[in-house]
Amino acid sequence: MLEQRFIYLLNFKNILMHIAYSGKVFFAPNTSDEQIIDRSKKRLMENGIREEHIQVNYNIQELEVNDLYISYEPPHLVIRIVYEKKGSGMIKMRNTGMIEI
């Protein structure tokens, strides 16, 4: 059985909510700026993701259902969760929140 993990975010009404995930956390920073990458990882850890779960990886084909895909879209980190992976390799993700860095 997979360990259930949570990330905590404020929704648009400033209400604390948690997002359950049980797999990998792929972080696609879309920048080579180490300061932004380090600051982003710190913000992810402040929101409940353990450092050892965060992988800098751009290959979405390695994602499975319930994995998180986090991208940097200035000035936010956009959190998406994989909800379906088709046999053809197509990955379907749902936006679940954003974190300002």
CA distance 33 to 30: 9
CA-to-CA dists, residue 41 to 28, 35, 45, 54, 92, angstroms: 11, 10, 6, 8, 24
Cβ atoms of 26 and 60 within 8 Å: the answer is yes
pLDDT of residue 11: 55
Give CA angle at 3 (95, 96), nearest 5°.
10
Cβ atoms of 67 and 41 within 8 Å: the answer is no
pLDDT of residue 13: 56
CA-to-CA dists, residue 31 to 38, 66, 68, 70, angstroms: 11, 25, 19, 13
The tens place of each residue's pLDDT in the chain, 101 residues long, gives 456 676 666 555 555 666 778 888 999 999 899 999 999 999 988 888 889 999 999 999 999 999 999 999 999 999 999 999 999 989 999 998 888 88
Beta strands in 29-67 (DSSP E): 54-56
How is the chain split into domains, by residue range? 5-100
